[in-house]
Each structure stands twice: as structure tokens, then as C-alpha cells.
Structure 1
Amino acid sequence: MLAVNDTEFSSAVFLLTGIPGQEDVDLWISVTFCLMYVISIVGNSVILFIIKTDPSLHEPMYIFLSMLAITDLALLIATMPTTLGIFLFNSREISLDACFAQLFFIHSLSFIESSVLLLMAFDRFVAICKPLRYASILILPRIGKMGLVIVLRGVSLIFPLPFLLKRFRYCRANVLSHCYCLHQDVIKTTCSDITVNYIYGFFLIVTVVGLDSLFILLSYVMILKTVLKVTSNVECLRALNTCVSHLCAVLLFYTPRIGLSVIHRFGKDSPPLLSLLLGYISLFVPPLINPIVYSVKNKHLHARIIRLFTHKET
């Protein structure tokens, strides 16, 4: 189906985009994405299985890690149909309702993951700055309530977006920039007044990504101040080492997403390939790398994984 210009297509479809100019190597790209999906799903599933089956890992840090793994798996499921559809079957069409549903899940899950990373930063703050109160602050009922709050927060904040998009007329080119639907990408195709969506989208970025990243930064400032007071260099490095995995997850999550938001709003003259690359990195790299980093850096988890696979071999 050809892109539609200056005609209304509110009952038609959007056209998703793979990697422009690389159609000749779509097969190899599809193999790469399939491998990424398989590794990401297996890695996160193994972490969830080990945490669930090992009672010694039923601690706040590992519960938050399991929340992160579940969110990453949900994001993979939300993007898998359209991504593999494009690269395996060249299926680019997606209905408006399906597109709105996909962007709802992608954005709400992204906000939930941002909140999970904030909770993990809070966990490290309490463990290092207030170790004697750790067990009394992060009790299981309170962690459960925290999990419920971040899910409700992510869902409720994104819930209005599909309904706001539904009332628009779409009369510009219906080709989207990615192999999945994003709110900031969809509103470019409408000929209606998008002031409300633009303001609300900016509000969401500031109040969720902005505040979460700010509180994470403040947590690490407090952690650093506490650690620097430790007289022993060994103890200082040991405390900081427990934060390395979380810092990697934070950088992998926030850096491409902030860059993508800036490009969509202010970088109209930026190379399209840059936006495309940041979009792929923001959704596909964290679920792939997070299990690897935590499996390598966390000694207890690393030992359990080795035990799991060596036990199966024997």
C-alpha cells in the first residue's frame, strides 16, 4: 500500500518502517532480531526462574530485579509482532486501533520500567546509607504496594493517549519512522490540532522520566557521600560494586530515550538514521544487556545460574 498524502485515512492503516535502504539484507537483519529476542527472553526468564525457585533470593533487591525482568519481557512481547513481521514477512501495515494499542503498552511499560529503576536506586540507597533499617523499611508488603503503585502510575498516565489520538483526523503521509508505534511519531501524521497531545506528552516526559532520573541521581549523590565517609578503601569499593549493575541499567534505559524524545521534539533536521538507531537501542538493548550484566556482576545470581546449568549437565 502506498503512503497517503493529503487525504484522510482515519479508517485505513499506518505503514511501519524497517531500516530504509537495507532491504537487500532484511534476511540477515531478521536473523539478528530473532537472536536478540531469543537471548533476551531466555536471559530474563532464567533470572525470574532462579529468583522464584531459590528462597535465599527472596530479598528486596532480587524482587526489584524480577520486576525489571518482567517489564523487559512485556516490552519484548509488545514489539515482537510488528518487528518480526516487517523483517521476516515484509508486513508493514498496521491498523490504527492496533497501533494505538501498541503505543499504549510500549509507553506505559517504559514508564513502569523507569519507576522500577527508581525503586532499585532506593533499595541501594537504603542498603548503603541506612543498613540497620534496611529490613524494617523494605518489607514484603510494602514492596508489593510499591509494585502496585508503579503499575497504576504507568497505566493511568498513558491511558488518555489512545483516546486523544482516536479523535484526530489523519491526512498526512501515513508512514511511521519505526517498526513499532510511538505517540510522538503518530501525531506527526495528523492534520488536527495536537496542542493538547504535545503539552501532555511533554508533561509526561518531565514528570516521569525527568523526576525519576532526578531522584535516581539524588540517591547516588547520597550513596557517594556515605561511601566516601568509609575509612576502608576495600569497604568503599565493595559498596560501590553493588551499584554497578543498576547504574548500567539506568544508563541503558535513559540515555537513548531522552535522546529520542529530544530528536522528536526539537531535532527536525537530524539524520533519520539517528532517530531510528536510538529507537532500536531504547527498546531492544536493555532487555538484552540487563540479564547479562546482572548475571555477571551479582555473585549470588551468578553462582545460582552456574549451579542451574551444571546441575542439568550432570
Structure 2
Amino acid sequence: RMIFNNTTSSPSTFLLTAFPGLELAHVWISIPVCCLYIVALLGNSTILFIITVERHLHKPMYYFLCMLSAVDLCLTISTLPTVLGVLWFHAREISFKACFVQMFFVHAFSFLESSVLAVMAFDRFMAICNPLKYATVLKDKVILGIGLAICIRQILFIVPVVLSLKSVSFQGGQELSHPFCYHPDIIRYAISNPWISSFLGLFLQLYLTGTDLLFILFSYFLIIRTVLSIVAPKKQQKALNICVCHICAVTVFYLPMISLSFTHRLLSSTPRVICSILANVYLLFPPVLNPIIYSLKTKKIRQAMLQLLRSKSSRSRNTRDLRRSWD
């Protein structure tokens, strides 16, 4: 076995794996995977475009949705090259430096999505429990400050984990469990001082995503208590409908993430193909489903999308009529 350290001038490589045991079906598997990436890219780009263009959507709820779509878009782009590279071209080799960079972005955007979901829970709490203070508390400057704060929070906590990997040596040529670089997967092949980075990675995940999830659960405890105190059933239903999209987004994100982390750290005997499927679900499903959920359940987003499509169709008709008149 070849051993390398990331400080050497000629680092070796890891081997990425898409779906272990299903290599012959990679071409067919790539079709739905590619479709999911297209849906994620188009869906989140459309949400960003609509919220930016439509002035009546310049409100706190849609600003936070814009943040979520931006994070989902970045998360999708960070894994797309290696996933499609493995499925289409069997490009399995990845250098340590490239793996290191991808791992940083995957975890940074993943933790950032967790923080955005927590902030969106606060937005829902203010809208239902303190509607009179909603507009005065969540001003544009406050929202900008919240966005900067959660970004700085990620940097401050991820940098120690990144720096801890500089003192770790790895076994070269080892097969990873995923078509992208994931910290719990990589640290298994560490030779020197693996426990430092492993401990920091586990602490980071438990602290960042754990505190975010606790904050979300506490927010919904207060929301449910407020909703139950409402006498009118229609108002109760209206209040709960406000939270449906966010509850779906939280479930789609946290359930695969906890399952993947649990299988990697506690269930070492889990088949690799299951870990690979969980990883793809964890990183692909939230960017794919979030735009669909918010488009279907949010009336103003849906109306803005329909208006955009109608304006495009009317423009195309006008250009056709002009061409016919010229002819």
C-alpha cells in the first residue's frame, strides 16, 4: 500500500465510487441522475430569478427562500463534476488537493443550508407568534446581517477542521464510498492522528446541525402552542399551511443527513451501495425538491412563474407575427 502526505509535492489519489457493484449500469443510472441535476439547477435558478425580478416578492420570507435556493445551487455545482465524471467517463481518480477542496465546499454549503433552515424557522415563528412585530423586526438590514452572520459562523467552525487535516497522512489509492469527497469517508484512510480530525468533524456536525435542529424544533413547539390557542379552525389551518413548505424542506434535508452520518460512524458493516445511495439522496434531493415544494405550495411563487411563462410565450408570438409581416 502506498502512503502519502498532503504536504508532499506529488500527492497520490483517491478513487471515487458511484454505485459499488452496479458499474455496468452506470450509463443507465446517469440518465435519472443527470435529470435530477438539471431539475435542481433550473429550479433553484428560476426561484432566484423570480424573487430578484418580482418586486412584490421582496419580503423576508422570500429573501430567506432566495438564500436557500442559492445554497442549494452551490451545493449542486460542488458535486456535479465528479458525480457525472464517474458515471459518464469512469473518471474515478481525484487528487488529494482536489478532494480536499470539494470536501470543504460540500460540508460548508451543507452546514450553511442547515443554518438557513433554522433562520427560516425563526421567520415562521415571527409570522405566526408575533405578526405585529414581524415587519419591524425583520427589516432588510437585519436580514442582510443574519445572512452574513451564518456565513461567518460556518467559516469560523469549518476552518479548524480544514487545518487539522494538514497534519494527517493518508493511504493512497483507496476507494471512497461516494462519487464526491465526504469527511467521514476520507478520514477512515488516515494513518497519523486521525482522531483529531474525526473528533472535530463529529463535533462540528453535532454542534452546527444539532443546534440548528434543536432551534427548529423549539420554534415549532412555540408555533404549535400558538396555533392551538387559536379558536377559529380556518385560522388554525391557515397558520399551519404557512409552515408546510418549511417542514418538508427540513425533513428532506435532515433525514438523509442523519441517516448517512449514522451509517458512516456507527454502522461500519453497512453495504457500500446503501451508503452511496444515501449520500446521493442527501446531496441531490433537497436541491431538487425544495424548488418544487415551494413552487407548488406558495401561491405567489406559482403565480410569478406562470406570469413569466406567459410573458415569454407572448414575446415569442409577437416575434413570429413580426417575421410573418416582414415576409
Amino acid at match of 2:199: I
Per-residue CA deviation, residues 251-287 of structure 1 (Å, 9 max, x unaligned), is 0111111111111111112222221111011100100
TM-score (norm 1): 0.96
CA distance in 2, matches of 1:25, 1:206: 36
2:160 counterpart residue number: 160
CA distance in 2, matches of 1:186, 1:166: 13
2:241 counterpart residue number: 241
2:53 counterpart residue number: 53
CA distance in 1, matches of 2:264, 2:111: 18
1:295 counterpart residue number: 295
CA distance in 1, matches of 2:188, 2:3: 14
CA distance in 2, matches of 1:148, 1:32: 36
Q: Post-superposition shift, 1:38?
A: 1.0
Instruction: Please list, as runs of the form range in 1=range in 2, the aligned pairs for 1:191-210 lying within 5 A after superposition.
Output: 191-210=191-210
CA distance in 2, matches of 1:84, 1:156: 31
Could you list the runs of 5+ residues in structure 1 that have no partner in the other structure? Answer: none
Per-residue CA deviation, residues 145-170 of structure 1 (Å, 9 max, x unaligned), is 10001111112211233332232221
Amino acid at match of 1:247: I
Per-residue CA deviation, residues 114-144 of structure 1 (Å, 9 max, x unaligned), is 0000000000000000000001110110110
2:139 counterpart residue number: 139
CA distance in 2, matches of 1:60, 1:159: 30
CA distance in 2, matches of 1:102, 1:158: 13
Give the 3-state SS of the residue equivalent to 1:249 in structure 2: helix
Q: Post-superposition shift, 1:27?
A: 1.2
Preserved CA contact (<8 Å) 2:20 2:272? no
Per-residue CA deviation, residues 191-223 of structure 1 (Å, 9 max, x unaligned), is 112121122112112211111001100000100
Q: Post-superposition shift, 1:173?
A: 5.8
CA distance in 2, matches of 1:283, 1:252: 10
Which 4+ residue blocks in structure 1 deviate beyond 3 angstroms?
none
1:220 counterpart residue number: 220
CA distance in 2, matches of 1:97, 1:267: 28
Percent of aligned pairs with the same amino acid: 44
Aligned length: 309
Amino acid at match of 1:139: K
CA distance in 2, matches of 1:227, 1:80: 42
TM-score (norm 2): 0.92
Q: Post-superposition shift, 1:36?
A: 1.0
1:83 counterpart residue number: 83
Give the 3-state SS of the residue equivalent to 1:106 in structure 2: helix
Preserved CA contact (<8 Å) 1:101 1:162? no
1:8 equivalent to 2:8? Answer no
2:283 counterpart residue number: 283
Amino acid at match of 1:50: I
Preserved CA contact (<8 Å) 2:12 2:173? no
